[in-house]
C-alpha cells in the first residue's frame, strides 16, 4: 500500500511536469488550454474562495507556519523519552510520503491554474498590437501623452488635508471587477469571473516589508493587494492581480491589462491610478534613455499633484528598505525567470513597450 501511495504521488508530480513541458514546447496547446480548460478554475475555485471576505490563502499560510512550529516543538519534546523517540521513528516513516504528496499536489494545482498560462499567447497579440524597438523620441512622446492625461485628472481627484490622493473605498471591489468586465467586452480574452480582491491583514507586517504591492494565489484563485501602501497604486494593483486571475500571468501583460481596464474606467480615481503607474514605469525607462539634465526637465513637466504623490510613495517605501525587501525581490526574480520571464522583476517595466505599441497603433 505504501508503494502505491508513493507511485500515486509520483504520478501527480509527473503529470504537472508533463503539462508544463508540453505547454513550453507547444504554445498552441497552452492557447487551447487557456480557452477551454483554464476557465473552469476561476469559475469554481475562484468563486468559492471569493465568497470569504478575508484571505483564505493568508489563513492557510499562517496555519502552515503554526503547524511547522508545532511539529518542531513535538520533535524536541519527544527526544527526551524512550516512548517519545519511538513516536518520532514512527512519524519519520510516514512524514516523507505525506510531504512528497503535498508538494506534488501544490505543483499540479499551480500548473493547472497558472503554469500553463505562462506559455499562452500574449495579450498584445490578442489585442492586435505589435511590440517593436522604439527610440528615445517615441518614449518622450508617450511620456507627454501621459503627462497631458495626468494634468487633466489631477484637478478632478479627491485629496486629503496634506494634498495627497485619496481613494474612494466604497464599491472599490465591485468597480474593479466591472472595469475588467468592460475591458473583456471590448477585447475578450479575460473571461467573465473576477473574485473580490482582498487586502491581507498582515499587509504592512509582511507585504510592505517585502516590497510587495500585490500578489495572486493560484491555489485559491484569490487576488490580493497591499492595503497599507499609498492608495494611488491600489486600483491599478487590484486590476493587475485580477488579470492574473483571468489567466494573464506575465507581469508586463498583467500591467498592460490593468492599465487598459483602469484607464478606460468611469471613476476618476481608477483613471488617475492608471496614469500614475504608467508614468512611474515610463520615468524609469526615460532615466535610462536620456541624460540626467533632460530627465529632470521632463520630470518637472509633471503636474504638482503627481509629483506630490510620487514623493509620498517614495517616502513610504523607503521605510521598508532592507534585507527582507531585497530577499523578497530576489525570490520574485527567481520565480519569474523559472516561469520563462527572462527579464525577471524587470519584466514589470516591459509594460512601457506595450504602451508604446498601443499608442503607436
- Helix-then-strand count for the chain, H and E: 16, 2
Residue 91, pLDDT > 80, answer no
Domain boundaries, position 108:
2-119
Indicate whether 92 and 183 sit together in one domain. Answer: no
pLDDT digits (tens, 9 = 90+) for 148-184: 999 999 999 999 999 999 998 888 999 999 999 999 9
Mean pLDDT to the nearest integer, 60-72: 89
Indicate whether 309 and 164 sit together in one domain. Answer: yes
Provide the pairing of β-strand 214-217 with 222-225.
Answer: antiparallel
Residue 341, pLDDT > 70, answer no
358 by DSSP, 3-state: which? helix
Helix (H) or strand (E) holding 217: strand 214-217
Indicate whether 249 and 316 sit together in one domain. Answer: yes
Indicate whether 208 and 352 sit together in one domain. Answer: yes
Among 34-43, 67-76, 192-201, 209-218, the range scoring the smallest mean pLDDT is: 67-76
Distance, in Å, from the CA atom of 361 to the CA atom of 356, rounded to the nearest integer, reads 9
Task: Work out the pLDDT band at 339, boundaries 50, 70, 90.
Answer: low
Indicate whether 99 and 128 sit together in one domain. Answer: no
Indicate whether 144 and 193 sit together in one domain. Answer: yes
Angle of helix 56-78 versus helix 82-110 axis, rounded to 10: 160
Domain boundary among 52, 85, 119: 119
Q: Give 278 or 77, the one with higher predicted confidence.
A: 278
Among 47-61, 247-261, 323-337, 342-356, the range scoring the smallest mean pLDDT is: 323-337
Domain boundary among 59, 91, 119: 119
Among 199-203, 234-238, 317-321, 334-338, the range scoring the smallest mean pLDDT is: 334-338
Total Cβ atoms within 10 A of residue 233: 22
Residue 1, pLDDT > 80, answer no
Q: Give 272 or 92, the one with higher predicted confidence.
A: 272
pLDDT of residue 349: 58
Residues 270 and 262: beta-carbon distance below 8 Å: yes
Indicate whether 136 and 39 sit together in one domain. Answer: no
Residue 332, pLDDT > 50, answer yes
Distance, in Å, from the CA atom of 114 to the CA atom of 331, rounded to the nearest integer, reads 18
pLDDT digits (tens, 9 = 90+) for 4-60: 888 989 999 999 999 999 999 999 999 999 999 999 999 999 999 999 999 999 999
Indicate whether 202 and 286 sit together in one domain. Answer: yes
Distance, in Å, from the CA atom of 332 to the CA atom of 335, rounded to the nearest integer, reads 5
pLDDT of residue 289: 84
pLDDT of residue 322: 72
Q: Give the percent of the chain with pLDDT over 70.
A: 92
Backbone phi and psi for residue 168, each to the nearest 5 degrees, phi listed first: -80, 110
Among candidate residues 228, 229, 261, 226, the one with its CA nearest the CA of residue 242? 261
Q: Give 262 or 76, the one with higher predicted confidence.
A: 262
pLDDT of residue 345: 42
Indicate whether 144 and 44 sit together in one domain. Answer: no
Among 4-8, 85-89, 180-184, 355-359, the range scoring the smallest mean pLDDT is: 85-89
Mean pLDDT to the nearest integer, 266-289: 93
Q: Give 90 or 138, the one with higher predicted confidence.
A: 138
Q: Give 83 or 160, the one with higher predicted confidence.
A: 160
Residue 328, pLDDT > 60, answer no
Q: Is the pTM of this model over 0.85?
A: yes
Provide the mean pLDDT of the chain.
Answer: 88
Q: What's the DSSP call for residue 231?
A: G
pLDDT of residue 118: 93
Q: What's the DSSP call for residue 266?
A: S
Angle of helix 268-289 versus helix 251-263 axis, rounded to 10: 140
pLDDT of residue 331: 62
pLDDT of residue 346: 47
Residue 117, pLDDT > 60, answer yes
Indicate whether 198 and 78 sit together in one domain. Answer: no
Distance, in Å, from the CA atom of 24 to the CA atom of 225, rounded to the nearest integer, reads 29
Mean pLDDT to the nearest integer, 101-106: 94
What sign for the dihedral angle of Cα 80, 84, 89, 94?
negative
Indicate whether 109 and 143 sit together in one domain. Answer: no
Mean pLDDT to the nearest integer, 180-195: 90
Task: Name the domain count of the chain.
Answer: 2
Amino acid at each position: 500500500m505504501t508503494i502505491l501511495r508513493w507511485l500515486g504521488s509520483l504520478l501527480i508530480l509527473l503529470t504537472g511536469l508533463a503539462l508544463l513541458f508540453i505547454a513550453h514546447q507547444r504554445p498552441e496547446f497552452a492557447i487551447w488550454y487557456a480557452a477551454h480548460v483554464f476557465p473552469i478554475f476561476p469559475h469554481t475555485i475562484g468563486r468559492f474562495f471569493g465568497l470569504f471576505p478575508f484571505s483564505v490563502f493568508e489563513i492557510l499560510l499562517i496555519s502552515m507556519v503554526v503547524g511547522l512550529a508545532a511539529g518542531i516543538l513535538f520533535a524536541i519534546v519527544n527526544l527526551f523519552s524512550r516512548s517519545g523517540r519511538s513516536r518520532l521513528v514512527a512519524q519519520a516513516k510516514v512524514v516523507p510520503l505525506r510531504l512528497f504528496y503535498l508538494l506534488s499536489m501544490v505543483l499540479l494545482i499551480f500548473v493547472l491554474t497558472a503554469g500553463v498560462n505562462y506559455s499562452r499567447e500574449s495579450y498584445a497579440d490578442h489585442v492586435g498590437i505589435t511590440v517593436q524597438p522604439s527610440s528615445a523620441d517615441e518614449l518622450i512622446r508617450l511620456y507627454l501623452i501621459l503627462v497631458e492625461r495626468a494634468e487633466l485628472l489631477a484637478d478632478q481627484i479627491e485629496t486629503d488635508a496634506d494634498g495627497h490622493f485619496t481613494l474612494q473605498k466604497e464599491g472599490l471591489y465591485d468597480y474593479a471587477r466591472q472595469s475588467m468586465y468592460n475591458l473583456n467586452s471590448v477585447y475578450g480574452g479575460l473571461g467573465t469571473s473576477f473574485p473580490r480582491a482582498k487586502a491581507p491583514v498582515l499587509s504592512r507586517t509582511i507585504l510592505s516589508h517585502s516590497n510587495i504591492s500585490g500578489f495572486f494565489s493560484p491555489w485559491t484563485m484569490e487576488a490580493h493587494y497591499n492595503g497599507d501602501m499609498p492608495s494611488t497604486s491600489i486600483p491599478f494593483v487590484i486590476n493587475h492581480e485580477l488579470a492574473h486571475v483571468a489567466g494573464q500571468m506575465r507581469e508586463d501583460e498583467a500591467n498592460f491589462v490593468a492599465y487598459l481596464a483602469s484607464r478606460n474606467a468611469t471613476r476618476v480615481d481608477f483613471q488617475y491610478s492608471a496614469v500614475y503607474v504608467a508614468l512611474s514605469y515610463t520615468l524609469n525607462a526615460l532615466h535610462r534613455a536620456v541624460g540626467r539634465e533632460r530627465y529632470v526637465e521632463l520630470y518637472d513637466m509633471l503636474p504638482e499633484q503627481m509629483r506630490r504623490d510620487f514623493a509620498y510613495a517614495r517616502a513610504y517605501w523607503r521605510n521598508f528598505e532592507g534585507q527582507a525587501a531585497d530577499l523578497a525581490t530576489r525570490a520574485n526574480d527567481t520565480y519569474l525567470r523559472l516561469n520563462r520571464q527572462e527579464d525577471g522583476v524587470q519584466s514589470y517595466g516591459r509594460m512601457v513597450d506595450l504602451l508604446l505599441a498601443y499608442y503607436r497603433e
